[in-house]
Amino acid sequence: MSKFEINRRGLIKSGAAIGAGLALPTIFTRNAYAYVNEPKGATVTLGFNVPQSGPYADEGADELRAFQLAVEHLNGEGDGGMIGTFSSKMLKGNGILGKKVAYVSGDTQTKSDAARASAKSMIEKDGAIMISGGSSSGVAVAVQGLCQEAGVIFMAGLTHSNDTTGKDKKANGFRHFFNAYMSAAALGPVLKSLYGTDRSAYHLTADYTWGWTQEASMIAATEALGWKTVNKVLTPLAATDFSSYIAPVLNSGADVLVLNHYGGNMVNSLTQAVQFGLRDKQVNGKNFEIVVPLYSELMAKGAGKNIAGIVGSQNWDWKLEDEGTKSFVKSFGEKYGFPPSQAAQTCYAQTLLYADAVERAGTFDPCGVVEALEGFEFDGLGNGKTLYRKEDHQCFKDVLVVRGAENPQDEFHLVDIVEVTPVAQVTYEPENEMFAGGNLGKCNSGA
Amino acid sequence: MLGLSKKDTTFLVVVIFLTLMTPILLQPFPEGSVLAQFNAGYPDLMQRFAIYGIFAIGFNILFGLTGYLSFGHAAFLGVGSYSVVWMYKLLGYNVVPGLLLAVVTAGLFALLIGYISLRRSGIYFSILTLAFAQMSFNLAYSVLTPLTNGETGLQVYTDDPQILMGAGSPNSPHFFGIVMNESAKIDVGGWQFTFNNGYYFCAIIAIIVFYLSLRIFRSPFGIMLRAIKTNQTRMTYTGLNPRPYTLAAFVISGMYAGLAGGLLASMDPLAGAERMQWTASGEVVLMTILGGAGTLMGPILGAGFIKYFENIFSKINDDILHTWFAALPDGLEDAIVFMVHPFIGKGWSLTLGLLFMMVVIFLPGGLIEGGNRIWRLVTGRSRNRNTPGKDAQHHPKPTAHVN
């Protein structure tokens, strides 16, 4: 056993040691780069951060396929896909600014913490100049914040929450995907014509930023039609069994169930709702209906027959007839043997949009890229004429309203397109109350 | 020096040296070489080594010394993170107020949970702590959303009050002007070393708390804790009440966890609820056992191992494997890649699980025991001196040296 004695000599010695330790970091000067991760060699590295586990793993796998395809096309391999149909003709298939495109991938685990750790290691270890991907708005918001602080560009993948380009918007972040408000605005008129104006809705909502804004948007849109909201219940994102949430719906007096769920959540909750016999029920003299505001082919595949007749909205579908869609579906189908999902399309488009913005800016400097993307109008990426709005970095384009096919001809024709809602109908002011409270701030290049 | 025996002083100096040299030691392969994949000397991972090292040191004070296995330490980690982010939101980006609050709140939280859970021991204690941690997780995840921002995680927004923020203050976490995420990169030959402010901040705190835990291990209090682990009943018969000691150990380790959580938020200003999930609690148990429970250095080693696997192995994908084995004939290359595939990428936890099983089966004392065996093999020294049976007079045995 030793005693802790303070004497003058010991104090000076340990004081000096601690002082030297504290001063150590300050002797190093800042690095000499003009901006973070300035590519100096013959390659430029992009970071693709997608969920490879968790409820959105299917979407993540498809996103990664699209990223790999986009990198091939940028490097001039394969048939070039949508580069040929893209309205901007800056991309030549020789990489970006003559540098060959390399990429690193990581697993977000659909958790904010893990996603940030993965993105950080891409930025700090692998020197990624741009981060893309993400299949959850919680993750997208977290990673977007990280990219803003680190000084790299974030090209959001599949994120549908209003907050991503609303209260959590950042100058370094850009979203091509549509959002909850647009879904609700597109679905409103269709729901009115299908189910009338006298309905009572029950909401089951994934408990995080996307679910909250999706629910708020749907309630606003349906109440404007004259619908009543009976109840809204939050469910954990990690939940796999929804029976305890669905049972109360039966006796609530509601005649519409709105499932603000996505991915694996939606597959499970919809399947269980159908198993509980909700769809065969008559309530208030009307057929009980289920609405899934955000849809995807991958979810339709997971839910199987249960999807028949259920209405929802999509950002894009591979059955569209424009040139961009056709060439993308062709090159994706040739490489992987099945058509791409909307998650794949948005990630592919984001990668091309980033590469194109760098070419037009003539630099990888994030501030130059931000300037090139703001207010950029383009066409030929599968969604028709599209605008990257300067005020909130959100893309404005047509929205699809879709419906689960009653008798699908094969596993790739699970949804039918009901209507292509024109962009004017889903456009909103940047100051819209559902998007209020955010501030883009200034672009950060990390220098 | 500093009230330590000569041997411990040397030990502390070695630890300080290793900690400060980490950015160089973890970067053994030159940039651009095939093995650069295995370099771990980038700021985020080094910070995690130091922070989870602190977490594991604290956990070891409870588990290693008293033998009480808590499955709820992640709750304190989360509480620490939320405290720091709230201080950012209310006061400003200086980390000091947040870290102090993190330690205090985690301590109070630990006092409450410990007071209730320590009424039982063994498996019942573990279950109680697990239940409390799971309750905290669910509260943070959905019930207390205004306080924690739920699944999205608590973040700082530009319209937060931040009353202590001056016009010139840095816009990210800093320690009196030393910005955490700034680093200096130095190129030496083909190597690139990153010296990051945040890492050194964590490292210095880690050294201080390591020193504290060293003192606790060597103190009469530490002996009491070991007595509890050895035989609690006998301790009660001698008229000593173990409860205050275990509670103190629980609170101290809770404060360590709070500090670690606070540091996580100091490096990256975001606090997510999943930090409190039971998997995070299980992780620190794994770290401690993998490294060697009850040893001073073991938990730090274990923490490093787990974080290394999580961050480095999880990023190896099939493309990288193909470049490694490109020299082999095609069929063989594909076969090897196919066989290795389940153990890399998202299969990193499988590799870690196998390693954990091997350690538990063959090295019950953890990696530290493995190190000791190798050391004895190399130096040719054996532990004959302490072998029981040769001491006919039954001299009291020296207390097991803790390394």
Instruction: Calculate the dihedral angle through the C-alpha atoms of A275, A279, A281, A286, rounding to the nearest 10 degrees.
Output: 170
The answer to whether B151 contacts A138, with C-beta atoms less than 8 Å apart, is yes
The mean per-residue pLDDT over the stretch A368-380 comes to: 93
Strands (E), A111-151: 130-133
Q: Exposed (0-12), middle (13-18) or buried (19+): which is B387, by Cβ within 10 Å? A: exposed
End-to-end CA distance of chain A: 52
pLDDT, one tens digit per residue, over B338-354 is 888 888 777 777 888 89
| Nearest CB partner across the interface for B150, out of A150, A168, A208 | A208
Strand partners, A48: A105, A132
Whole-number percent of chain A with pLDDT over 90: 55
Instruction: Calculate the dihedral angle through the C-alpha atoms of B1, B5, B6, B8, rounding to the nearest 10 degrees.
Output: -90
Greater pLDDT, B159 or A18: B159
The answer to whether B1 contacts A26, with C-beta atoms less than 8 Å apart, is no
End-to-end CA distance of chain B: 18
The pLDDT of residue A217 is 94
The pLDDT of residue B250 is 96
pLDDT, one tens digit per residue, over A306-362 is 888 899 999 999 999 999 999 999 999 999 999 999 999 999 999 999 999 999 999
CB atoms within 10 A of CB A433: 11
**Residue B390 binned pLDDT confidence (cut-offs 50, 70, 90):** low
Greater pLDDT, A238 or B80: B80
Chain B, 272-291: which have a CB under 8 Å from a chain A CB?
A: 272, 274-275
The answer to whether residue A60 scores a pLDDT higher than 70 is yes
| Nearest CB partner across the interface for B218, out of A1, A120, A124 | A1
Compute the nearest-CA separation of B214 from chain A (Å). 12
Three-state DSSP state, B211:
helix
| Nearest CB partner across the interface for B152, out of A5, A125, A208 | A208
**Neighboring chain A residues of B269 at a CB cutoff of 8 Å:** 149
The answer to whether residue A23 scores a pLDDT higher than 70 is no
**Tokens representing residue B123 in the block:** 């498996």
| Nearest CB partner across the interface for A24, out of B194, B200, B220 | B200
**Tokens representing residue A110 in the block:** 């659909």
The pLDDT of residue A26 is 47
The answer to whether residue B399 scores a pLDDT higher than 80 is no
- Return the closest-CA partner of residue B136 out of B42, B32, B261: B261
Cα atoms in the 13 Å half-sphere on the side-chain side of A342: 27
The pLDDT of residue A408 is 85
**Tokens representing residue A26 in the block:** 């300050």
Q: Are B106 and B261 in contact (CB under 8 A)?
A: yes
The answer to whether residue A44 scores a pLDDT higher than 70 is yes
The answer to whether B153 contacts A3, with C-beta atoms less than 8 Å apart, is no
**Distances from the Cα of A424 to the Cα of A41, A291, A414, A428, angstroms:** 44, 23, 28, 9
- Is the CB of B219 inside 8 Å of chain A's CB atoms? yes
- Return the closest-CA partner of residue A373 out of A45, A365, A69, A194: A365
User: Best interface-test mutation with B: which of A18, A208, A245, A439 has the largest number of B CBs within 10 A?
Assistant: A208
**Distances from the Cα of B123 to the Cα of B118, B127, B130, B279, angstroms:** 11, 6, 10, 18
Number of domains in chain B: 1
CA B30 to chain centre: 28
Does residue B53 lie in a domain region?
yes
Compute the nearest-CA separation of A197 from chain B (Å). 33
- Is the CB of B177 inside 8 Å of chain A's CB atoms? no
**Cα separation, A23 vs B342, whole angstroms:** 45
Strand partners, B188: B191
Averaged confidence pLDDT in chain A: 88
Q: In terms of CA atoms, which chain B residue is nearest residue A27?
A: B184
The pLDDT of residue A376 is 94
The answer to whether residue A20 scores a pLDDT higher than 70 is no
Q: Are A286 and A383 in contact (CB under 8 A)?
A: no
Compute the nearest-CA separation of B208 from chain A (Å). 10
Whole-number percent of chain A with pLDDT over 70: 94
Q: Are A96 and A371 in contact (CB under 8 A)?
A: no
What residue type is assigned to position A415 of the chain? V
The pLDDT of residue B122 is 87
Does residue B123 lie in a domain region?
yes
Three-state DSSP state, B30:
coil
Chain B, 70-129: which have a CB under 8 Å from a chain A CB?
A: none
- Return the closest-CA partner of residue B44 out of A171, A115, A174: A115
- Is the CB of B155 inside 8 Å of chain A's CB atoms? yes
Does residue B342 lie in a domain region?
no
The Cα angle at residue A38 between residues A36 and A40, in degrees rounded to 5: 150
DSSP secondary structure, A201-246, as one string: EEEEEESSHHHHHHHHHHHHHHHHHT-EEEEEEEE-TT----HHHH
**Cα separation, A355 vs A71, whole angstroms:** 10
Does residue B177 lie in a domain region?
yes
Tokens 């809602």 correspond to A421
Does residue B395 lie in a domain region?
no
The mean per-residue pLDDT over the stretch A243-270 comes to: 90
- Return the closest-CA partner of residue B37 out of A65, A137, A344, A121: A121
What residue type is assigned to position A277 of the chain? G
**Cα separation, A95 vs A113, whole angstroms:** 32
**Cα separation, B48 vs B85, whole angstroms:** 18
Element (H, E) at A107: strand A100-107
- Is the CB of B37 inside 8 Å of chain A's CB atoms? no
The mean per-residue pLDDT over the stretch A117-129 comes to: 89
Looking only at the bridges linking them, the beta strands covering A377-378 and A311-314 are unpaired
Domain enclosing residue B250, as ranges? 6-276
**Cα separation, A399 vs A421, whole angstroms:** 5
Compute the nearest-CA separation of B137 from chain A (Å). 12
Residue A430 φ then ψ, to 5°: -60, -25
Does residue B159 lie in a domain region?
yes
What residues contact residue B4 under an 8 Å CB cut-off, 6+ apart? A2, B12, B214, B215, B218
**Cα separation, A392 vs A429, whole angstroms:** 10
Chain B, 233-262: which have a CB under 8 Å from a chain A CB?
A: none
**Cα separation, B6 vs A430, whole angstroms:** 68
Greater pLDDT, B34 or A123: A123
B310-328 as b/e, with b when 16 or more CB fall inside 10 Å? bbbbbbbbeeebeebeeee
Q: Are A445 and A151 in contact (CB under 8 A)?
A: yes
CB atoms within 10 A of CB A34: 11
**Neighboring chain A residues of B204 at a CB cutoff of 8 Å:** 18, 21-22
The answer to whether A121 contacts B45, with C-beta atoms less than 8 Å apart, is yes
How is chain A split among helix, strand and coil, in percent rounded to 5?
A: 40, 20, 40
The answer to whether B184 contacts A30, with C-beta atoms less than 8 Å apart, is yes
The answer to whether A124 contacts B42, with C-beta atoms less than 8 Å apart, is yes
**Cα separation, A425 vs B180, whole angstroms:** 46
Averaged confidence pLDDT in chain B: 86
**Domains of chain A, first to last:** 43-178+318-397 (3.40.50.2300), 181-314 (3.40.50.2300)
**Residue A290 binned pLDDT confidence (cut-offs 50, 70, 90):** very high
User: Best interface-test mutation with B: which of A9, A37, A113, A245 has the largest number of B CBs within 10 A?
Assistant: A113
Compute the nearest-CA separation of B123 from chain A (Å). 27
The pLDDT of residue B335 is 86
CATH number of the domain where residue B228 is located: 1.10.3470
Does residue B327 lie in a domain region?
no
Compute the nearest-CA separation of B120 from chain A (Å). 31
The answer to whether residue A31 scores a pLDDT higher than 50 is no
A226-255 as b/e, with b when 16 or more CB fall inside 10 Å? ebebbebbbbebbbeebeebbeebbeeebb
**Neighboring chain A residues of B172 at a CB cutoff of 8 Å:** 149
pLDDT, one tens digit per residue, over B181-238 is 888 888 887 888 889 999 999 999 999 999 999 999 999 999 999 999 998 889 999 9
pTM of this structure: 0.83
**Residue A423 binned pLDDT confidence (cut-offs 50, 70, 90):** very high
User: Best interface-test mutation with A: which of B21, B151, B275, B308 has the largest number of A CBs within 10 A?
Assistant: B151
- Is the CB of B194 inside 8 Å of chain A's CB atoms? yes
The mean per-residue pLDDT over the stretch A233-252 comes to: 88
Q: Are B134 and B278 in contact (CB under 8 A)?
A: yes
DSSP secondary structure, A297-336, as one string: HHHHHHHGGGGTT-EEEES--TT--SHHHHHHHHHHHHHH
- Is the CB of B319 inside 8 Å of chain A's CB atoms? no
- Is the CB of B13 inside 8 Å of chain A's CB atoms? no
Does residue B305 lie in a domain region?
no
The pLDDT of residue A4 is 58
pLDDT, one tens digit per residue, over B260-306 is 999 999 998 888 888 888 888 988 999 999 998 888 888 999 999 88
